[in-house]
Amino acid sequence: MAKRIQFRAHGGPEVLEYVDFEPAAPGPNEVLVRNKAIGVNFIETYFRTGLYPVASMPSGLGNEGAGVIEAVGTEVTHVKVGDRVGYGTGPLGSYADLHLTPAANVVKLPDDISFEQAAAIMLKGLTVQYLFRQTYEIRPEEIILFHAAAGGVGSIACQWASAMGVKLIGTVSSPEKAAHAKANGAWEVIDYSKEDVAKRVLELTDGKKVSVVYDGVGKDTWETSLDCLELRGLLVSFGNASGAVSGVNLGILAQKGSLYVTRPTLGSYANTPEALQAMADEVFAMVSSGKVKVDDLKKFDLKDAAKAHTELSARRTTGSIILVP
């Protein structure tokens, strides 16, 4: 018998329950991971509230974790019992002592990457990798805009951009978060609670605006993001922290300068075991080299997942949140 977090109905953090459960034995191409650390990400609030559907109720929660292989299916060859592994692409259910997942979703951890680092970096680090290296490949000296620069993904993005010589302008909601983003390598920071973001971007770029905006906030920043883009610029809308963007009038893209918009997901990039491992290897290399540090961790016991969600939803956190079984 193991423990997990589940929910029987959609709602706020209070719907999360800490319960006993019996994980199934691995199928031919599955592995059972005994989690040592579990990542918490904003996307999990979408499943909890019903913005994103779940297969059935009650449902587990969480896509990311790191631990030790407890059991493997008969067809699994690239990992074995006892291997240290990480995963960041689901399926739902990582908020648990034990998690059953397709073997194709796990990658081996280098010896110098801890379980806590892996749980904090897998989903968020892989996200930054595909955003910066695949969706739009950022270049040295280029000025870019990244919303929520003090959050889990944003903290990694600031460091990654700085390591590449890219001038990242980050948006934040408080002086404390501004200091956090700057400490992580943001070139400039805009406190949107006090400043007009589009106007400030215009000033910082000498009227040129930016070539790309990375927007994980969604509804609240949609118009602002478009206003920050140069002619034929690209808006990468990769999250919905403030709610989903809906009712889009394509004509606005023409009016604001023949702009491009894409709505990518990690699954579309890490769509094969080989692609996933290559992406993870690049993320681990950034951590091993010290270019990306994963030391700003907020830890909660697994049973206190509801408290972690309360802090996350209130945007009171910086860096990464992990649960410890």
Count each helix (H run) and each strand (E run) in the chain, helices first.
10, 16
Compute the distance between CA of residue 108 and CA of residue 189 in angstroms, rounded to an integer.
36
171 strand-pairing partners:
190
Q: How many CA atoms lie within 13 A of 227 on its CB side?
A: 11
Do residues 15 and 69 lie in contact, with contact meaning Cβ atoms separated by under 8 Å? no
Give CA–CA dist 316/294, Å, rounded: 18
Q: Shortest CA distance to 37 belongs to which of 6, 1, 62?
A: 62
Least confident of 37-51, 119-133, 237-251: 237-251
* For the chain, percent of residues with pLDDT exceeding 70: 98
Q: Which CATH number fits domain 140-263: 3.40.50.300, 3.40.50.620, 3.30.1330.60, 3.40.50.720?
A: 3.40.50.720
pLDDT band for 113, please (50, 70, 90 cuts): very high
Coil/strand/helix, residue 186:
coil
Looking at residue 126, what is its pLDDT? 95
CATH ID of 2-122+270-324, from 3.90.180.10, 3.30.1370.60, 1.20.140.10, 3.30.70.3340: 3.90.180.10
Q: How many CB atoms lie under 10 A from the CB of residue 274?
A: 10
Residue 242 clears pLDDT 70, i.e. is over it: no
* pLDDT single digits (tens) 165-224: 999 999 998 999 999 999 999 999 999 989 999 999 999 999 999 999 999 887 778 899
Please write the tens of the pLDDT for every residue from 52-85.
Answer: 899 999 999 999 999 999 999 999 998 999 999 9
Neighbours of 192 (CB within 10 A): 18
Q: What's the pLDDT at 273?
A: 87
The residues spanned by each domain of the chain are 2-122+270-324, 140-263
Cβ neighbour number for residue 220 with a 10 Å cutoff: 16
Distances (CA, A) of 31 to 79, 85, 121, 226, 279: 9, 11, 21, 43, 21
Q: How far apart are CA 243 and CA 252, in angstroms?
A: 20
Contact, 112 vs 285, CB < 8 A?
A: no
> What was the pLDDT predicted at 115?
96
pLDDT in tens, 123-179: 999 999 999 999 999 999 999 999 999 988 999 999 999 999 999 999 998 999 999
Burial 103-137 (b: 16+ CB within 10 A, else e): bbbbbbbeeebbbbbbbbbbbbbbbbbbbbeebbe
Which residues lie across from 86 on neighbouring strands? 66, 107
- Is there a common fold for 2-122+270-324 and 140-263? no
User: Does position 316 have pLDDT exceeding 90, yes or no?
Assistant: no
Query: Cα dist. 40→77, 122, 159, 270, 297 in Å?
Result: 29, 11, 20, 19, 11
Contact 122, 79 (CB under 8 A): no
> pLDDT at position 249, please?
87
pTM of the full structure: 0.87
Q: Which residue in 157, 198, 205 sits closest to 180, CA to CA?
A: 157
